[in-house]
Amino acid sequence: MREVCVVGVGMTPLGRHVDKRLRDLGRIACFAALKDAGVVPKEVQAGFCGNALAPAIQQETGVGQSVFWEVGINKIPVLNIENACCSGSSAFREAWLSVASGLYDVAIVVGVEKTYTEKGGVLDIGKADLEMMLGLVLPSYFAIMAQRYIYDYGLFAQDLALVAVKNRFHGSLNPYSQFQKPVTVEEVLSSPMIADPLTRLSCTPLSDGAAAAILASKDMAIRLNKKIITVAASVLQSGAYQNPMNLSNWDLNVRAAEEAYNTANLGPEDIDLAEVHDCFTISELLHYETLGFCKKGEGVKLLKEKKTQLGGKVPFSVSGGLLAKGHPVGCTGVAQIVEAVWQLRGEAGKRQVSNARVALTHTMGGMKDGDCKAATINILRTD
């Protein structure tokens, strides 16, 4: 396998884009990535698209072909990937594999989602799973995990609320973030209850948006005269689905992290920043632990000591994370890659992590038998 570099990235602001179609959002992100890379459409040899909800919401399939055609890319292999919240990061992994194998020298990946509809209402997805039929929707699942974690480690709801406070502060520094206003612990706790102990401000919003990246062989990156951002590892794992589950731990994360660190020949001590799947406040605390940044039960200590805040030892979710930046499902994993690249180039503005050389991105998606269906971890580094 040869080295693969990210040579260009681009994305739209996340939020509600009432006036834009799904393919409009994808076009904006792809044009930005192509321009950033200095690559013209005819140089792209393969395309990969992550999208989770278009068939359910827009009744649209073959999203990648439609988006890439908008920027003049056609007559190449295009693969559309649906893998729940890991759709975009799974598409990124496929693009990486296609270049690492030597099959292609230049590939484009886009993650795109439009969740806003004029009709509003609850998304009618996931109802094929027994848990969903019985009412174990995602907020309920994560609330149960939060209750267990609080019980196991003698914590309080305000401890979890600190995650939302931190990530909303980070989001206030990010012009691409859906929410750009800081909040307090009191505001988090007093917002409407969704599933005890998770309030509205403890939960991620659904968002519209798109993000894109251009991947190329290292030789091509050198010819393009780009700062070398290498994909040190790109890992995809699925759940074990073995009950009874440990409700304050994700073995899926542990396995994916172990594979990623071994592939990259790095460890958590080498990571300068992490963008993780903080879909609920409890999630980020568990990610601290299952990704190896602290021992079980010590996530809150890490948070209270501000080691995961901008300026801390390992800043987490400096983009604002899903809680503030937003969660356009199929786009999220690629948006994390874009943030990582900006950070490693020193282009992140007010939220820039000092001397960032290694970044980790992480997504999780879907639910089955109390476990998650998929997890991806990407590690990027600058030479």
Buried residues in 13-32 as b, exposed as e (16+ CB within 10 A): bbbbbeebebbbbbbbbbbb
From 327, 331, 362, 372, active-site residue: 327
| Tokens linked to 135 | 């009412």
CA distance 228 to 186: 44
Q: Are strands 106-113 and 193-195 parallel, antiparallel or unpaired?
A: unpaired
Number of H helices, E strands in the chain: 14, 11
Task: State which H helix or E strand residue 233 sits in.
Answer: strand 229-238
From 30, 49, 85, 372, active-site residue: 85
Neighbours of 127 (CB within 10 A): 10
Per the annotation, the verdict on 327 as an active-site residue is yes
Contact 110, 26 (CB under 8 A): yes
Per the annotation, the verdict on 287 as an active-site residue is no
Angstrom distances, CA of residue 46 to CA of 50, 74, 103, 215: 14, 9, 10, 10
For tokens 């499902």, name the residue. Answer: 329
CA distance 296 to 292: 9
Residues designated as active site: 85, 327
